[in-house]
Chains A and B, each alone.
Chain A
Amino acid sequence: MSEFHDDYPQYEFMAHHSEEAGKAKRRKLWNVFWIMLVVTIVELIIGFNAKKLGLLHDDRTSTFTLKVIFIGLTILKAFFIVYKFMHLGDERKFMKYSIIGPYSIFIIYLVFIIVGEANYSLIHKDKMDKIIVDQKEKANRDAEKGHHGEEHGEEPSEGEHH
């Protein structure tokens, strides 16, 4: 079949299948597409009507329920892409878990850290915002001072050029 990897007889480079098997596979793939399309449309409908459905705080920020719905539907779509389109569902168990496992561990850890830190910084928001405002005011004061300083400072350098 191929000049590569002749010492690896346990697998072939490609799954070859017949015309009939192909037909069934194509039908399945199109079904996945329709599912993804419906999920996306449902997402958009929920997005359009979030206000009416009472899923927004103060008419703008998403509620926890809305976040769970959207993230759940997204993960559903991700599952279909990875398992059906990328054929990870058809791979051997070893392969499946060495892809999904490390990624999931890192992601759960990262989300845990981020949520914790974001909550912390939200609790201390007033203190942190004050630091930013102070910095801005200080920048303005420095600019005032620096402006006058520059005018004085320019004279000797001009003298040097002359």
Chain B
Amino acid sequence: MSGHVAETDSDSAWSGGKSPFGVSYGKVFMWFFLVSDALTFSGLLCAYGFMRHRHPEVWPNPGDVFTHFPFYHGHIPLAYVGLMTLILIMSSVTMVLAVEAGHRNDKKKVTIWMLLTIIGGAMFVGSQAWEWYHFIVGTDHGALRSVFVDGKWVEQTVYGANMTVNEYGLPVFANFFFFITGFHGFHVFSGVIINIVIFTNVIKGTYAKRGHYEMVEKVGLYWHFVDLVWVFVFTFFYLL
């Protein structure tokens, strides 16, 4: 937010003694960190795209893989990830509302919205664990795949997916799935932890004393970034 910044003319902006970006040190470096993190995820997704492009005919169809829904016996592709996406977008909205409440120094509202964000994040991590569980366990019938056993490649019926075999198709799909969604899930998890830390400080009144809720804004940046990455993971893993 910089609508509040006193306008500096571009001639003197970089001559020192002022912030040419019009934002605090902490926020600038949160942004730079996010750019580097975004490049990491881009690299991973590009590698995924490479393998997928190279193996078009044996690549698993996500619509056949992720078909489970809690408390429902049957197959509805995409529904559950759609719900997960909704949960994460929702928690992004509650986060931005917490930031907005912070701008008004409204401690009570910040507390409520931060709490909802934490709950949303925890729900998302839980959903991802559930999704992994079903991917690892696989179907009842399994599929015949080439497996490396005792130093030999043999045909074998395999159930579910892990780092070496994948019932649904190429093992490298499972490797990418575990690594990328795992890396993202770890970001969500650490985001929840950081949110809890900031939430505790909000309750304790640290930021009310300080006069501004900029820490909420910084952690909000990180949280929105997690949502941003998920939007891309969702597209490349589940939709395409």
Q: Are A103 and B31 neighbours in the complex by a CB distance under 8 Å? A: no
| Residue from A16, A73, A103, A139 in contact with B38 in the complex, judged by beta carbons closer than 8 Å | A103
Residues of B within 8 A of A11 (CB): 2, 4-6, 19, 22-24
Q: Are A1 and B239 neighbours in the complex by a CB distance under 8 Å? A: no
Give the CA-CA distance A40 to B18 in the complex, in Å. Answer: 42
Q: Are A66 and B240 neighbours in the complex by a CB distance under 8 Å? A: yes
Q: Are A81 and B231 neighbours in the complex by a CB distance under 8 Å? A: yes
Shortest A83–chain B CB gap in Å is 11
Does more than half of chain B's interface fall in helix, strand or loop, or is it mixed?
A: helix
A86-98 CB mask vs B (1 if < 8 Å, else 0) is: 1100111011001
Residues of A within 8 A of B54 (CB): 118, 121-122, 125
Say yes or no: A85-B211 contact (C-beta < 8 A), given A11-B6, A14-B1, A47-B78: no
Say yes or no: A2-B212 contact (C-beta < 8 A), given A85-B96, A102-B35, A117-B50: yes
| Residue from B19, B35, B220 in contact with A99 in the complex, judged by beta carbons closer than 8 Å | B35
Give the CA-CA distance A71 to B235 in the complex, in Å. Answer: 7
Q: Does B131 contact A (CB under 8 A)?
A: no
Residues of B within 8 A of A44 (CB): 78-79, 82
Category for how many chain A residues contact B: 35 or more
Q: Does B140 contact A (CB under 8 A)?
A: no
Q: Are B46 and A26 neighbours in the complex by a CB distance under 8 Å? A: no
Give the CA-CA distance A95 to B28 in the complex, in Å. Answer: 8
Q: Are A146 and B31 neighbours in the complex by a CB distance under 8 Å? A: no
- List residues of A (95-124) whose CB comes within 8 Å of B's CBs: 95, 98-99, 102-103, 106-107, 110-111, 114-115, 117-119, 121-122
Give the CA-CA distance A104 to B59 in the complex, in Å. Answer: 29
Q: Does B17 contact A (CB under 8 A)?
A: yes
Q: Are A29 and B212 neighbours in the complex by a CB distance under 8 Å? A: no
Q: Are B228 and A106 neighbours in the complex by a CB distance under 8 Å? A: no
Residues of B within 8 A of A33 (CB): 89-90, 93
Interface Cβ pair total, 8 Å cutoff: 203
Q: Are B53 and A136 neighbours in the complex by a CB distance under 8 Å? A: no
Q: Are A13 and B24 neighbours in the complex by a CB distance under 8 Å? A: yes
Say yes or no: A143-B224 contact (C-beta < 8 A), given A16-B103, A43-B239: no
Say yes or no: A91-B21 contact (C-beta < 8 A), given A25-B100, A29-B97: yes
Residues of B within 8 A of A106 (CB): 39, 42
Looking at A19, A47, A122, the one whose CB has the most chain B CB atoms below 10 A away is A47
Residues of A within 8 A of B142 (CB): none
Q: Does B92 contact A (CB under 8 A)?
A: yes
Q: Does B217 contact A (CB under 8 A)?
A: yes
Looking at B47, B49, B152, the one whose CB has the most chain A CB atoms below 10 A away is B152
Q: Which residue of B lies closest to A77 (CB)?
A: B231
Residues of B within 8 A of A74 (CB): 231-232, 234-235
Give the A-binding residues of B (Cβ under 8 A): 1-6, 8, 13, 17-25, 28, 31-32, 35, 38-39, 42-43, 46-47, 49-50, 53-54, 56-57, 59, 61, 63, 77-79, 82, 85-86, 89-90, 92-93, 95-97, 100-105, 146, 148, 150-153, 210-214, 217, 220-221, 224-225, 227-228, 231-232, 234-235, 238-240
Closest CB pairs A-B (n = 10): A143-B151, A118-B53, A15-B1, A14-B212, A74-B235, A92-B22, A13-B212, A10-B18, A95-B21, A114-B46
